[in-house]
Structure 1
């Protein structure tokens, strides 16, 4: 027999599954959903404990100047080192953190740790204009007090804020464009930079894009990886690079895995590259070692021409 409380539980389970799939989606309850829900509940509890137990760690993937080969910065990427399960992939826990709201304390921790790392690198390499990029979540960006939080973190961190760049996505700003612009201007007023991640995969128009106070566009890795075999993808990559320069922005190509891709991007006058060709995401100690291995200044004979 189906008891009323079980029916309500099952209906709620189907409702939450439908919500997770996006607006306008519907789901019919299946018993397997209960198992999935239990796993999700257990993961959520483990994540709460992991935040308190400091099981999370930041890794840093180099961002390289394509003309000189110099490391110009890093993207900070979170990893979860579970004491029993080992490393848990971000794709397993980031969506759940967004759904449950745990992304707020997790995001605060990421900002604190990244700022501490910026402070260390600015002290160790005072003549290197390094930038650390931090991915912001939609929930973080929508916080009414995010600007105040960030101001306090930067003040307490004692860093040159030009060493921080915040990465946002198109979907985060298009819901409420005016509010997004206000917050971006607040971030810029602190001296930080802003990058638009995965550009080309969203729905922003060029008229909206030109209104955003951005410093950098990042070409999505799906286009970069396919550009060697697809004229359409190559055209998109070239368009984004040219658009960035027209709007006085820098451009980073993500997902660069071969020297042929890097050479093609150089020929298109792309500014920076990021990908496994140079390094996977590294622990802070290994990233620091990479910086020590490079001179403070590139060989000027291969430096790019200055762009106005």
Structure 2
């Protein structure tokens, strides 16, 4: 026991306290600051509560502290602080609980570790994963706020168990655990080793808390894969196994424990389905392909009402001077479960069930409103047009002409600032209602473009009779269309592109080249007369705010 005055100084101590804190035959504790000896000032809450007891405002305080003995070792002490009635001192009772804490730690280790491999077990893994997700959700901690996971399953382990027995299987699991731990230790040399856990059977996990990115987790998976490919020598037996690994890396704010494990399990399945003995990175697009058609179809109509769709815009640049002339509006679905989906995942389904009409109307209205907004925000520069993709079912199942007219009136966008893109296969051979609709839209002042030209029917006879003003050359003609470099230009591509450009110009059409990725491609296209370029050389699809920035720089 220690007696401490209101100032926090020790004024009395029994022999047991002296032995506990300083050892036998040492100088008295009188005059020392009790909080320093007992580590009561290391965290603000304990420090405040201790002072409240010293001042007589609180009746009692009890804390467990880890303190350092004068001899150098550490011990755990339960400290209880109580005022002494009628005196200006408080009494500190100290109980050495080191043995109890050590027993608790040993029991917890047994409870949280796998007896075969000595690795963390499933319970400890999920405890650490939950803690990592919770800790990463707080900003300003210096952490990356990301988490990575390698979910691993041994290929051929069942055959080892069935033919050689579980005792050999257990020894193999222990050897696998050693190699994985070695990989984790090497990977965490500078930033802290990932947690290696056995989740059950022949399933293992490597948890990268505070991940620095996909590259770090993929490198860990590659190292683990190579480590396990080396044969195992177990008491004269030479065994070979491989592993399939699913790799997931995410921002903690965008996932949960359940979501992360589901993604990892799916990706592990892909690794096995792709041939085993490999690691596979989680791909939202591939995951979307696994969804049932019904799950996507049933969610399309309400998704429009819930505002789950967004538009990105890819610049259309005049090749002659590199100036921004227009943008193509590209729809994305921010699916609440499967992440950001590109049109190839849902437009076909939307066309099948008819929801493309509702979705297409939303895309058209949103794009026109945005184009008008850019025009008002940047009155000093020539306005850019917006190009919107139209599915052929929108022409058949809705009054597209009336929809366009109404939206242009609502948004106050001039018709010549709207371009509608239809695929070549949808336009070629048009007759009846589709042709009438295209003609009415053209008469209104709206530009009509044929998308992916050169990949469909290519019935050139229709070009002179259709109200088309723009041809968009498919990117397959542009790839490799460059001078010099490792990939020389294909002469056939050059001849075809030049011929199509000349034909289009003879018919009074302008030509846009898609998938322009290099300056060499752009220069060749400009020299043969192509009017407009679109591709990653200029910009990937971006948010509307980025286009505003480009307009401000003009």
Same fold, TM-score > 0.5, yes or no: yes
Residue 73 in structure 1 maps to residue 326 in structure 2:
yes
What SS does the corresponding residue of 1:248 show, helix, strand or coil?
coil
Residue 113 in structure 1 maps to residue 373 in structure 2:
no
Residue 97 in structure 1 maps to residue 343 in structure 2:
no
What SS does the corresponding residue of 1:67 show, helix, strand or coil?
coil
- The equivalent residue for 1:259 is 519
Tell me, in whole angstroms, the C-alpha distance in 2 between the residues paired with 1:144 and 1:285.
31
Residue 140 in structure 1 maps to residue 400 in structure 2:
no
Tell me, in whole angstroms, the C-alpha distance in 1 between the residues paired with 2:322 and 2:446.
24
Residue 172 in structure 1 maps to residue 426 in structure 2:
yes
What SS does the corresponding residue of 1:227 show, helix, strand or coil?
coil
Tell me, in whole angstroms, the C-alpha distance in 1 between the residues paired with 2:400 and 2:467.
17
Tell me, in whole angstroms, the C-alpha distance in 2 between the residues paired with 1:47 and 1:138.
18
More strand by share: 2
Deviation of 1:278 (Å): 0.6
Tell me, in whole angstroms, the C-alpha distance in 2 between the residues paired with 1:174 and 1:73.
25
- The equivalent residue for 1:230 is 490
- The equivalent residue for 1:53 is 306
- The equivalent residue for 1:128 is 382
Deviations 1:70-101 (A, max 9, x none): 00000000011123322112211111111111
- The equivalent residue for 2:533 is 273
What aligned pairs does 1:171-210 form with structure 2 within 5 A after superposition?
A: 171-210=425-464
Deviations 1:141-173 (A, max 9, x none): 223522112211111221211110101122212
Task: Calculate the TM-score normalised by the size of structure 1.
Answer: 0.80
Tell me, in whole angstroms, the C-alpha distance in 2 between the residues paired with 1:52 and 1:138.
23
What aligned pairs does 1:11-90 form with structure 2 within 5 A after superposition?
A: 39-90=292-343
Distance change in 2, residues 1:152/1:231 (3 Å): same
Unpaired runs of 5+ in structure 2? 1-288, 483-488
Contact in 2 for aligned 1:81/1:88 (Cα 8 Å): yes
What SS does the corresponding residue of 1:184 show, helix, strand or coil?
helix
Tell me, in whole angstroms, the C-alpha distance in 2 between the residues paired with 1:68 and 1:175.
36
Tell me, in whole angstroms, the C-alpha distance in 2 between the residues paired with 1:85 and 1:189.
42
Deviations 1:101-152 (A, max 9, x none): 1111100100110111121012123341311000000111223522112211
Task: Calculate the TM-score normalised by the size of structure 2.
Answer: 0.45
Number of positions where the alignment pairs a residue of Structure 1 with one of Structure 2: 259
Contact in 1 for aligned 2:424/2:450 (Cα 8 Å): yes
What SS does the corresponding residue of 2:315 show, helix, strand or coil?
strand
- The equivalent residue for 1:305 is none
- The equivalent residue for 2:544 is 284
- The equivalent residue for 1:32 is none
Contact in 1 for aligned 2:331/2:342 (Cα 8 Å): no
More helix by share: 1
Contact in 1 for aligned 2:429/2:462 (Cα 8 Å): no
- The equivalent residue for 2:404 is 150
Residue 293 in structure 1 maps to residue 553 in structure 2:
yes
Task: Point out the structure with max Rg over C-alpha.
Answer: 2
Tell me, in whole angstroms, the C-alpha distance in 1 between the residues paired with 2:342 and 2:457.
28
What SS does the corresponding residue of 1:252 show, helix, strand or coil?
strand
Contact in 2 for aligned 1:226/1:234 (Cα 8 Å): no
RCO higher in structure (CA 8 A, sep ≥6): 1
Say which of 497, 503, 512 aligns to 1:243.
503
Contact in 1 for aligned 2:367/2:386 (Cα 8 Å): yes
Contact in 2 for aligned 1:161/1:190 (Cα 8 Å): yes
What SS does the corresponding residue of 1:282 show, helix, strand or coil?
coil
Deviation of 1:38 (Å): 7.1
